[in-house]
Structure 1
């Protein structure tokens, strides 16, 4: 796991300033504290920060082919590199290292742009081919590793693992994209391919980008997509056995390491399944790390301990006080753009704990999306059955009216909280799902924004993100459709972003066996009925793991990695919320309706409404403005020539 960055003159061979490239590279020091390297030639500069995991002695980057005409900087892991080496050697390529990085340069020489289709892993890399005068960038299929880029007005192309490396260049305009702000307040993150800045973009998952000197920049090319065929007619017994075999293979590949390795263990189904499978693949005890909370309503540590005891792991538990909210500014600086998932706090803490004991940790991320684990999936399926009973032309006026007049009863038992359901029923399936996952739903965003900011949006609605992906999903199965939407949006923009930044802040590599693309493809071939059965989510995974995990872990209610926001904002953070939301930082943007900000605060303080998620979203936006937007480009550090 590393950090990459670079500069490319798309128009010619202007000299790359070593001091500037070094500054960009060092801005990501936390991603790779072991070594740093630069490659500079006319019109091109590549930078790399290394966290040594495989081939500790000869895996330094930038790394070259035999005649040094091809150079690569790489972040991630190619898990099938040991299979590819003999195939490339048979084609005449000579290897000088034992690293997965060298596979990339020779695969490029052998297969060109199609090389990415041969890689199994998590990766973001940039490759310079001097003979072809070509810069090639690529990102892994599920967006585990990040890659930002920008084309400046003078034809300079910048890229980096984190947005901070582009900002460190000094030439990137810090003009905020209004459409990105709209996406953020709807979703809690800025969806690919946008970034918070107009001039910068994210390379979308499963895309590559080819730039040739002297030619206009082409659009990114998609090289993979998951297809929910649902046509695999296997039975439950055979599917359970095959799932165990596929999990075992995926986990075995991700246990290749020359440094200490372990796993996160939350006590949930996904991480417990990963630990159980790891324990069967090694004679040595597995290192496991858990976070416990002093507030029992958020504490899963007893279930993690249950699994740790069963498999005799070296278990490490850190208790975190429920008022662990001092990370707000730290998180804003880590994420570089607004990011509103409050579970970033415990994720940061568990990565901090894990790094004391291991350099690589396996996680259970991606399981909810592929196995059908989210509670919102079951609610959506229920709504879909209701939608199918009435055509949209009848539903829209009936349920639209009910949604408007029914009170928002956050305080009431869940059975009586029908407002959201009524609102969702007035929409199409895609609109209804977007509505259900939005932090601030459309009516709230309309009240939040100032008149001038609404004008700057030009009618843009974050719903367009979901509509775009839905049109490309290739399925009308209700569950498969929303799984596809989550794989393209929430998994990438929220989950993977959270884990990448939190782990790399502590120089920890996190690997993702449940996001192996071959596993995801196989799961997408299975019928939805084997993923959700009645009210039981992750049905197949739970059945497959029954021989290896206790029912108390498999069949308890899902808890999640949550923090007590509502209590914070009525207690220890009450004054901070008021200062942040009503202070000059947000006011000076001209984006927000102050009257509505005051309503959010007063209604939450009184207990009439639970506005904790919208308030946290605003709090993190204000922190972004102070810690990123208004922070000058850092001074250049001393650089060795």
Structure 2
């Protein structure tokens, strides 16, 4: 849908999740001033805000609450009051203001172009802006809008803008403002272990519950690892409690004999989901890499490598099923120190510091992967581990409680669900695996398949001259060089979208694979 003037145009393509009724964007608000909203996301507390402030909604769209909060005069607090994931642009035609905002973890993407003469363009994907032509620049600089920020602009009579301020509206370590409108009661723990574990269970279940908000069928990715298995188990429990009539569909992907398929099958049988297995071969995986990089808009090694399976399973879900809202376990590794390299942390304090760093950078890595691989096929990802209240509580716990224990990462999270029957015990305590090992056959990993293919695509001389050809973030491996070439084919000159490669800390590494870590013990190794 398009709303425009000689100087302002808003265009939106809608994938309806909350309501199937035809409520198109931009949404118009007229309480105080005439304002228009385009947004992508879900606002889970829109009904609580309506009740608290007495808003009268004109539509059934959850995002309408953004207009009401803005028109109430809460510019500074509009974004921080929202419990959800979002990226939006709000145009206030009466006061000649433009407001941009993005959710705390950047679960929903947003990019912008702002030229020196005040031309502003915003899009949910960079590919919508890279070929933009402007009178002062044939190729304006495209930048990701920072998560957890809002930016306010003055709109001049000629349609140009002047930025007034870019503001970080909330820290994810703080108790979110919207928690005051939530009836959930958290027991004061004083960090008593049993109370902490009870609070973790309560908050996580509530994180899943609020994300049931949808009028489209809900499904769940299921790798058989701890994170996706917990999400699937709690999700199915709540679906039964809410008397939702359709069975939960779970989806696993892998090559023949992959450990993930076996583990996911066991979880699905335990919880009673309608389970789907997607089998792919090495040729299909290699062929998908080009499409994956185009969809991701990145050349990060581990992100591309891990996205192929998610891209292919999303393609299957869209073509073969009617599930559209897809739950997944992204965010847990960053929050609960699940990466194997955390065993190398010099101290609990440094481990906690790195956990927060990973959360701040999620929008460039795992969250980007989750959103783009699903959205490429018209699906919507929901990530309960990144619930604001859950993450704020978990990060408030003493650093000593959150580190790996007895050689097992995510020990506190596992221990919190130890006395429940949500999952089989061997799944609850299943060791962390390198993604490429869990996904592929015990005979040959995805990591090995990629290296063998790329060896024929990138020679030693090309790699030696990589820094000359790619002075920013020069690739240090043939795999990195291969991905960078594909990225530059689609997005030349935009390498700065990725500030750095994802790499494990506290070791000298040129490859992000867990296989490079001495602590790593794969189920696939003899």
TM score, norm. by length of structure 2: 0.80
Counterpart of 1:541 in structure 2 is 413
Structure 1 residue 580, shift from structure 2 partner: 10
Counterpart of 2:335 in structure 1 is 370
Number of corresponding residues? 455
The C-alpha deviation readout for 1:244-281, integer Å capped at 9, x for no partner, is: 11111111111111011111111011111111111211
Instruction: Report the 3-state secondary structure (helix = DSSP H, G, I; strand = E; otherwise coil) of the residue aligned with 1:378.
Output: helix
Distance 1:75 1:580 in 2: 45
User: RCO greater where, 1 or 2, for CA within 8 Å and sep 6 or more?
Assistant: 1
Counterpart of 1:216 in structure 2 is 162
| 1:361 and 1:509 in contact (8 A); partners too | yes
Structure 1 residue 219, shift from structure 2 partner: 4.1
Q: 1:209 to 1:590 in 2, by over 3 A?
A: closer
The C-alpha deviation readout for 1:340-372, integer Å capped at 9, x for no partner, is: 321111121122223232110111111111122
| 1:265 and 1:288 in contact (8 A); partners too | yes
Map 1:60-209 onto structure 2 (within 5 A): 60-66=24-30, 69-88=34-53, 90=54, 93-110=55-72, 111-171=74-134, 199-209=141-151
- 1:515 is the counterpart of 2:398: no
Distance 1:139 1:373 in 2: 26
Distance 1:144 1:52 in 2: 18
Stretch of structure 1 that moved more, 145-154 or 99-108: 145-154
Counterpart of 1:34 in structure 2 is none
The C-alpha deviation readout for 1:498-545, integer Å capped at 9, x for no partner, is: 111111110100001110111100001111232232322212211122
| 1:232 and 1:525 in contact (8 A); partners too | no
Distance 1:550 1:117 in 2: 38
Counterpart of 1:226 in structure 2 is 172
| 2:327 and 2:381 in contact (8 A); partners too | yes
Q: 1:504 to 1:243 in 2, by over 3 A?
A: same
Misfit runs of 4+, over 6 Å:
none
Counterpart of 1:616 in structure 2 is 479
Structure 1 residue 126, shift from structure 2 partner: 0.4
Distance 1:276 1:569 in 2: 33
Distance 1:62 1:579 in 2: 52
- Aligned counterpart in structure 2 of residue 567 of structure 1, from 445, 448, 462: 448
Structure with higher helix content = 1
- 1:242 is the counterpart of 2:114: no
Q: 1:588 to 1:331 in 2, by over 3 A?
A: farther
| 1:74 and 1:123 in contact (8 A); partners too | yes
Structure 1 residue 582, shift from structure 2 partner: 6.5
| 2:226 and 2:430 in contact (8 A); partners too | no
Distance 2:464 2:289 in 1: 17
Distance 1:97 1:349 in 2: 35
Q: 1:615 to 1:44 in 2, by over 3 A?
A: same
- Aligned counterpart in structure 1 of residue 396 of structure 2, from 490, 509, 525: 525
- Aligned counterpart in structure 2 of residue 315 of structure 1, from 254, 271, 275: 275
Which structure has the bigger radius of gyration?
Answer: 1
Q: 1:245 to 1:137 in 2, by over 3 A?
A: same
Instruction: Report the 3-state secondary structure (helix = DSSP H, G, I; strand = E; otherwise coil) of the residue aligned with 1:167.
Output: coil
Structure 1 residue 213, shift from structure 2 partner: 1.8
Structure 1 residue 39, shift from structure 2 partner: 1.2
Instruction: Report the 3-state secondary structure (helix = DSSP H, G, I; strand = E; otherwise coil) of the residue aligned with 1:502.
Output: helix
Structure 1 residue 568, shift from structure 2 partner: 3.1
| 1:74 and 1:126 in contact (8 A); partners too | yes
Structure 1 residue 588, shift from structure 2 partner: 8.5
Distance 1:322 1:167 in 2: 32
Residue ranges of structure 1 left out of the alignment (5+ in a row): 1-36, 176-197, 386-475, 601-613, 632-641
| 2:408 and 2:431 in contact (8 A); partners too | no
